[in-house]
Every structure is written in C-alpha cells, then in structure tokens.
C-alpha cells in the first residue's frame, strides 16, 4: 500500500511476567458462570475446568489448575500461530490491539513485531446483561470495533462523580462507542463505555464497561496509545491461522488500493462500483451519494489521495477500515481520518457506509498523565 507509515514503539513484555489473576473463589465462580472456556483449549484442559466448576478441588488446587490451563491455552495459541479472526491488518512494528472476549471474561493485548503475538492477558468483567448493546441503560457491553480516545485518573473521576466513581478504581480509558456504523446503520445509542479498574480486589460485573483489576489497569496503560490502539469486543472471540488471515488481508488491501486508484482517476462509474446498493450515511443513501460524487468529481480535477496508518479489523462480518486520508485536488485539500465499512456481497466486497473526520491529536487528561508518568513517557 503506497504511503503507509511505519511506527516504532517500546519493547514487548513477556506474558509470563503478568500474573495478576483473581485468587478468590467468588472471582473464579463469576468467570465460570460466564462460561470460561477458551476457544483453543484442548479437551483435557476442559476436563480440568469442569473439575474446578464442580468444586471437587481445593482453592489452591483450583488456582494451580486455572494457571495451568491458561498457560496451556496461550501456548496452543502461539504454537499454532493463531490470532483473533478480526485482527486483519494493523501490522506496524510495536503496534498493539486490545481484544475483549466477553464470554471468556478475558482481555487480551496483541502486539506486532515480526508477527502478531499475545503479549498480555487479563481477567475482566463486562456488562451485567449478555448480548450486544443497543440502548442506553441496557447494562450490555457493545460488540464491534472501537478506539481508545481519552483517559482519566481515578481521583479525577472521583471529583466529578463522587463516591460513585469508586467502581472505576485507579483510572479509565474511554472507548469510542457508538462508532459511526453503530449510529447510522444499526441505530444504536448510549455512551460512556470505558475500560476501567475496580473498587478493590477483583473486577465485578458492570453497567456495560469492561473492568480489570487496578494492577492490570496499570499494566494496560503501558501497552496502549490513545487514538491509535483499536479495541475489538466480541461475545466470543474466534481464532484463525495467521496464514488464512493473511490471505484475507491481501484481498482487503487490494480492494482498498483499487478503490483509491478509481477515486483518483477520472472514471466515476468504476469508483462508484465499489459502493453497495445499501450504502447509507447521515446525509446520503446509495442514490443521492451517486449524484453527490458525480457532481464533486466533475469539479475537482487532478485528485490525489494518499493513505497512511491503515487499519483493517472485522467484527460481525463487517470490515472496519480506518486510515489517515490526505486529499489534494484543484479545489480542495484536506487531511483527516477516513472510516470505511465493507461487507461481502454476491459480487464482492462493497462499501456500506463511510465517514470522514478532521485529524485530531488524542491525549490523556493532565491528571492521568501525572498519575501514570512512566506510561505517558512510553506510550501516550
């Protein structure tokens, strides 16, 4: 892809150094009540998990089995070079992607070096009610592709919310729910979905947020970058061989480049062929979009479109593509974030919605930067 920017970040941390897992019986029961079963866990490990759930083993025995199963599951993931099926492309050295598996009560951090590897995994809790979020106050955690846009320290939240902020623990990251597709196509509402700490000890079910222990939240601050770290939230994360995803990646990258070239060239019909008959934005449907683009393209000559910082992720069979778009022409020049939403139709990949927003710099609150100075220096 022409014009892609490659970024450098800090050294990866070992998974084995992150061992802040819940030790209480109530925490285990909460996780097992949410169907704690890793999709890559061997059958023998599932038997061990069942022993834990039947309360046959002592608490210390449960802990040992839990850690053994976790290690075996991580080993299986790495040995088979599997990765989350929705992690199509964000292949920049040192980049990270947060993946939340609601049914398994786990938050995973994947890091790209030469390939994608699970760098960290933390127990987590999500909304009290299962399923995808559609309405404010439904106590559900949304499913989809989001980004970390803001961060606050725990004591800063306490100033705003008083004692109610205790549930957020040591701090919080804002997740960009609802995204454009959520709002325009799926007509979702609500807001205030965060990844945050907990009141004390182990996280508890939330009103829709993702919660981890305070220690694990601190670890997370060292791994993510506001505005640049995507978050994939699934009811149940599926995994695919990297080779299979790489083939899918090449198809997507080829489609994006062909779309870019068609837009740059003065062949409107070719460009519009990449759009679905079900295309929808806040302003246009497929018919009015066609009229709009024919009019705009006839006025803007010598178009040049550059794509940088491309990310391709997938959830619910929808490809969420984000990049920095630099557009220059005879009458208009701008730079901003472009979001494309693609689905597979009978005649190939089609754009069902898109959005452009001005480029902006994301930064944590001053209080958060002060509270997490080391994290801010390394990644924020």
Residues 275-290 pLDDT 10s:
999 999 999 999 999 9
Whether omega for the bond prior to residue 70 falls within 30 degrees of 0, making it cis, is no
Angle made by CA atoms 239, 324, 251, in degrees to the nearest 5: 40
Q: Which band of pLDDT confidence, cut at 50, 70 and 90, is reported for residue 330?
A: confident
SS3 44: helix
Asked if residue 376 has pLDDT above 90, the reply is: no
**Whole-number Å distance between alpha carbons of 127 and 310:** 31
Count H helices, E strands: the chain? 11, 15
- The pair of three-digit structure tokens given for residue 148, joined into one six-digit string: 């970390």
Asked if residue 10 has pLDDT above 50, the reply is: no
Measured on CA atoms in the order 288, 290, 296, 299, is the torsion positive or negative? negative
**Whole-number Å distance between alpha carbons of 117 and 239:** 12
Asked if residue 112 has pLDDT above 60, the reply is: yes
Please state the rounded mean pLDDT for residues 66-82: 58
Write down the pLDDT at residue 51. 47
- Helix extents (H) in 55-204: 59-79, 154-161, 180-184
CA distances from 168 to 15, 152, 156, 205, 230 (A): 25, 10, 11, 12, 21
pLDDT tens-place string over residues 303-319: 999 999 999 999 999 99
Asked if residue 115 has pLDDT above 80, the reply is: yes
**Whole-number Å distance between alpha carbons of 350 and 340:** 10
pLDDT tens-place string over residues 116-169: 999 999 999 999 999 999 999 999 999 999 999 999 999 999 998 898 899 999
Q: Which band of pLDDT confidence, cut at 50, 70 and 90, is reported for residue 252?
A: very high
pLDDT tens-place string over residues 183-211: 999 999 999 999 999 988 889 999 999 99
* Domains along the sequence of the chain with CATH: 243-358 (3.10.450.50)
**Whole-number Å distance between alpha carbons of 113 and 35:** 32
Asked if residue 320 has pLDDT above 80, the reply is: yes
Q: Which of 263, 252, 172, 282 has the alpha carbon at shortest distance from 217? A: 172
Q: Which band of pLDDT confidence, cut at 50, 70 and 90, is reported for residue 350?
A: very high
Write down the pLDDT at residue 1. 41
**Whole-number Å distance between alpha carbons of 225 and 149:** 9
At residue 319, φ and ψ (nearest 5 deg) are -85, 120
Measured on CA atoms in the order 233, 235, 236, 241, is the torsion positive or negative? negative
Asked if residue 79 has pLDDT above 60, the reply is: no
Write down the pLDDT at residue 379. 30
CB-CB contact of 113 with 12 (8 Å): yes
**Whole-number Å distance between alpha carbons of 234 and 131:** 10
Give percent of the chain with pLDDT exceeding 70.
Answer: 77
Asked if residue 371 has pLDDT above 90, the reply is: no
- The pair of three-digit structure tokens given for residue 9, joined into one six-digit string: 């970040």
Asked if residue 20 has pLDDT above 70, the reply is: no
Give percent of the chain with pLDDT exceeding 90.
Answer: 66
**Whole-number Å distance between alpha carbons of 343 and 255:** 12
pLDDT tens-place string over residues 52-65: 445 555 666 656 65
Burial class (CB in 10 A: 0-12, 13-18, 19+), 325: buried
Q: Which of 196, 235, 218 has the alpha carbon at shortest distance from 371? A: 218
Angle between helices 25-33 and 59-79 (to 10 degrees): 50
Asked if residue 230 has pLDDT above 80, the reply is: yes
**Whole-number Å distance between alpha carbons of 239 and 257:** 27
**pTM assigned to the model:** 0.79
Write down the pLDDT at residue 8. 37
């Amino acid at each position: 892809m022409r014009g892609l920017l490659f970024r450098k970040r800090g050294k990866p941390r070992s998974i084995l150094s992150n061992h802040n897992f819940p030790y209480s019986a109530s925490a285990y029961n909460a996780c097992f009540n949410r169907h704690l079963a890793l999709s890559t866990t061997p059958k023998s490990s599932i038997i061990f998990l069942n022993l834990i759930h039947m309360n046959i083993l002592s608490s210390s025995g449960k802990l040992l089995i839990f850690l053994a199963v976790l290690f075996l599951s991580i080993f299986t993931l790495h040995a088979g070079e599997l990765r989350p099926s929705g992690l199509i492309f964000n292949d920049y050295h040192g980049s990270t992607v947060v993946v939340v598996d609601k049914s398994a009560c786990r938050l995973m951090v994947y890091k790209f070096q030469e390939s994608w590897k699970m760098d960290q995994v933390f127990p987590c809790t999500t909304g009290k009610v299962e399923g995808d979020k559609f309405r404010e106050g439904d106590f559900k955690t949304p499913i989809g592709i989001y980004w970390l846009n803001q961060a606050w320290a725990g004591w800063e939240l306490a100033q705003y919310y008083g004692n109610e902020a205790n549930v957020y623990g040591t701090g919080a990251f804002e997740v960009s729910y609802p995204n454009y597709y959520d709002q325009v196509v799926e007509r979702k509402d609500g807001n205030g979905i965060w990844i945050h700490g907990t009141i004390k000890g182990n996280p508890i079910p939330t009103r829709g947020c993702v919660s981890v222990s305070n220690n694990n939240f601190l670890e997370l601050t060292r791994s993510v970058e506001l505005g640049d770290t995507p978050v994939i939230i699934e009811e149940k994360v599926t995994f695919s061989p990297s080779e299979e995803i790489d083939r899918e990646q090449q198809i997507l990258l080829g489609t994006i480049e062909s779309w870019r070239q068609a837009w740059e060239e003065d062949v409107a019909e070719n460009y519009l062929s990449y759009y679905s008959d079900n295309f929808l934005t806040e302003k246009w449907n497929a018919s009015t979009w066609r009229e709009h683009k024919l009019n705009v393209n006839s006025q803007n000559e010598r178009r040049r479109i550059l794509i940088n910082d491309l990310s391709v992720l997938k959830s619910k069979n929808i490809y969420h593509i984000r990049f920095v778009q630099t557009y220059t022409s005879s009458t208009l020049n701008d730079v901003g974030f472009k979001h494309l939403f693609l689905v597979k139709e009978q005649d190939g990949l089609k754009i069902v919605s898109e959005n452009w927003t001005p480029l902006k710099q994301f930064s944590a609150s001053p209080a958060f930067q002060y509270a997490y100075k080391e994290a801010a220096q390394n990644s924020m």
